[in-house]
Amino acid sequence: MGIKEYERKIGYGEDGIKTILEENLSELTPSYEENYILDRTRAYHNLLQRRTEKIGSQAIQSYVWDFNVAYMEEGEKEFTYLQDELGSTIRLLEQGGESQAIYGYDEFGEDIYCTQEQIQPFGYTGYRYDNVAGTHFAQAREYVAGVGRFAGEDWIKGNIEQPFSLNSYNYCGNNSLIYIDLDGKERLLVSGGVYSVEKQKKGKYYYEFIDPAIAQINEWKKEGANDITWLVSNAGWTNGDINAIQRVASSENVNLYFINNKSDLINYLNNKTTPKELPRIADPSNAIRANDTKYTRNEDLITEVSVFSHGFVRDGGIVSLGYNYEDENYNKSLNLTINDIAGINSGAFNIPKTNFYSCNTGTAGKDSFAQIWVNRVGGLTYTFNGKTLYRNVSDNSLLKKISRGLGVDIFGGNTKFPEGSDSAERVLFMTNCSE
């Protein structure tokens, strides 16, 4: 994968386009050429090596990544990166040497030191700069820092609940000091219903599948995600619960839909079709309209999925979005079985990272739910090879308990992600193999 540039000393004339199309480029020598090695398990931040060739010279740069680019090697030289809080490269330091490159940007990424592309290719928020077009490569389209707008229309259409999103060209809701936009694709959260009917009846905490989802929203937002959808199982929630979940989604600017069965989930994954019915809530003005689909799935591929729910190893593997420990007459139509995975459209995903916080989704190794899932959708899938514990996901202080009793929204405070039991390990599954 790469690019080539050609030089021609004579013009193409009035009929230049036709002449260019008829040019046999295989017979010409490119004046400049770039070739890349990419990590195809990542939707962005995935350039591992860049080889550039000019007439009479060649250079190879290799890159090491954590959340952002951290290290570069070129020949015998080694460099480390320093970034600001938005992930923009501001310093390049040579190890064992004195030389360094300094980079700077204004609020929307305009180069203020005229050092863009010097020594290395990464700039504002980690974007690559195109010195020919004067734009930044933002995966789905080009970003023009000089005007703080994208050069092309957003694949993701706006909605009336978020008025700023109706402008298809604006960058990060015109708030570039806080937000970044790495790829413009959808991240999806799935929460099961009430964790335990018995706990609900006794007035105990039963939001185990809600609080960590809010923590995930906050983590994704720190990474620059702007297109987040939250699917919550309509299983056991009171009208007050539904209103509270709606208010949280609204305050976080995420899309929220309640699902009544696994078909609602699969249809949303495959086609971005929203559920036909939403549960009744106390304040209808807070409801997100049903069938409010504004664009198709192939215009908004899924890059990340996190699932918070119960899970079983029986029947080959089940992610149970409506199960309650004390009630065997639970809504089995919310059970996503290992056989249902075959009905999921693999083309709806773009090298996704999936996190299953559901018991036993990785217990059966190569025959587990997680392995069959990643074989279908691709990318990487993380889960536990045993029981998943939700006992520490939220702060159950006396203040929180009193506030819940008064009907005050107390979601997302001091929330932790679920952990594996003492006998369970966090494991990674990749296509047709597991570790």
Nearest to 118 by CA among 152, 154, 72: 72
Q: Is the pLDDT of residue 161 over 90?
A: no
Structure tokens at 145: 């820092």
Q: What does the pLDDT look like over 366-411, one tens digit per residue?
A: 899 999 999 999 989 999 999 999 987 765 544 444 444 444 455 5
| pLDDT of res. 306 | 97
Cβ-based neighbours of 134, under 8 Å, separated by 6 or more: 144, 146
Structure tokens at 172: 């990060």
| pLDDT of res. 11 | 54
CB 120 within 8 A of CB 135: no
Region 98-106 average pLDDT? 86
Residue entry with tokens 């010279």:
57
Q: Is the pLDDT of residue 53 over 90?
A: no
| pLDDT of res. 309 | 95
Listed range (37-46, 84-93, 321-330) with the worst mean pLDDT? 321-330
Instruction: Using only the alpha carbons of the chain, give its radius of gyration.
Output: 25
* Mean pLDDT, rounded, of the chain: 79
Strand ranges of the sheet holding 228-233, from the earlier edge strand across to the other edge:
255-259, 228-233, 186-191, 302-308, 349-357, 380-384, 426-430, 433-434
Structure tokens at 163: 């008025």
Region 170-198 average pLDDT? 79
Most confident of 123-127, 175-179, 328-332: 123-127
Q: What is the largest CA-CA distance in the chain?
A: 84
| pLDDT of res. 26 | 66
Q: What does the pLDDT look like over 220-244, one tens digit per residue?
A: 887 767 788 999 999 989 998 998 8
| Spatial distance between the Cα atoms of 166 and 419, rounded to a whole number of angstroms | 39
| Spatial distance between the Cα atoms of 283 and 130, rounded to a whole number of angstroms | 49
Nearest 5°: the CA angle 313, 419, 359 is 10
Q: Is the pLDDT of residue 137 over 90?
A: no
| pLDDT of res. 289 | 31
pLDDT bracket for residue 51 (50, 70, 90): very high
Which of 411-414's residues contact partners 24+ apart within 8 Å by CB, and which partners?
411/207, 411/210, 411/211, 411/214, 411/244, 411/245, 411/248, 412/211, 412/214, 412/215, 412/218, 412/248
Region 47-63 average pLDDT? 89
CB 305 within 8 A of CB 188: yes
